[in-house]
Amino acid sequence: MFFQRQRSEAGEEETANASPGSGTGSVPEGKGILRGSFRELAAYVIVGVMTTGVYFGTYAVFKYLGVNYMINSCLSWIAAVLFAFFANKYFVFRSMGTQHLLRELFLFSGARIVTLLMDLLITWSCIELLGIGEWSTKLFSQIVVMVLNYLFSKLFVFRKEQEEQQ
């Protein structure tokens, strides 16, 4: 919970429970993408860092084994997506039901394929066309991918039931 001091109309200070989405505090209610989702964003960042760790760990292993960087990107992507699906489903977006599992998996995989293609394009362009180092390129590409993956997951994959009916 977050507490902050607020001034009432009479000018008196009061302590308000300003948890995200509670109607007070700095996180606005409404239909915005960030409405009441501080916990969700924090969880997504944690899972995103862990997923990036899975990606880079896998990438490092396959690089050590001499795998081409384009094939390596694909294999690392598969490992990261498998981890990310379950971590995002249960920990970030708290989509506990199984009735939408196949739909969520399909949409999640589709969104991740889009960001995989972006990852490959960024990786190839930066390394081959711009001569940027491989690890710097991969870090940049993963930041872009992480932001897009959140947006796709939030807006299309793990939508809440009430939002789907509106």
Place of tokens 């990036």: 52
> Residue 164 falls within a domain, yes or no?
no
- Residues 66 and 133 both lie in one domain: yes
Q: Which domain holds residue 13?
A: 1-36
Structure token digits, residue 76:
């690392």
Q: Of all residues in the chain, what percent carry a pLDDT higher than 90? A: 39
Place of tokens 């995002």: 88
- pLDDT tens-place string over residues 20-37: 444 443 334 445 555 557
> Residue 166 falls within a domain, yes or no?
no
Cα angle, residue 150 at apex, residues 144 and 154 outer, rounded to 5°: 150
- Residues 69 and 122 both lie in one domain: yes
Instruction: Name which of 52-56, 109-113, 117-121, 157-161 the model is least confident about.
Output: 157-161
CB within 8 A of 90, min separation 6: which ones? 96
- Residues 97 and 142 both lie in one domain: yes
C-alpha to C-alpha distance for 132 and 125, rounded to whole angstroms: 9
Q: Measured in whole angstroms, how far is the alpha carbon of residue 140 from the centre of its chain?
A: 15
> Residue 163 falls within a domain, yes or no?
no
- Residues 13 and 78 both lie in one domain: no
- Residues 29 and 42 both lie in one domain: no
Identify which has the larger pLDDT, 62 or 161.
62
- Residues 56 and 99 both lie in one domain: yes
- Residues 23 and 49 both lie in one domain: no
- Name the β-bridge partners of 17: 3
CB within 8 A of 146, min separation 6: which ones? 48, 51, 52
- Residues 43 and 117 both lie in one domain: yes
- Residues 43 and 66 both lie in one domain: yes
> Residue 30 falls within a domain, yes or no?
yes
Question: Region 114-134: what's the mean pLDDT?
Answer: 95
Domain count, the chain: 2
Place of tokens 């809440």: 160
Q: Measured in whole angstroms, how far is the alpha carbon of residue 54 from the centre of its chain?
A: 14
pLDDT of residue 32: 53
- Residues 11 and 55 both lie in one domain: no
> Residue 79 falls within a domain, yes or no?
yes
Gap between the terminal Cα atoms of the chain:
29
- Residues 69 and 147 both lie in one domain: yes
- How many residues are there in the chain? 166
C-alpha to C-alpha distance for 77 and 97, rounded to whole angstroms: 26
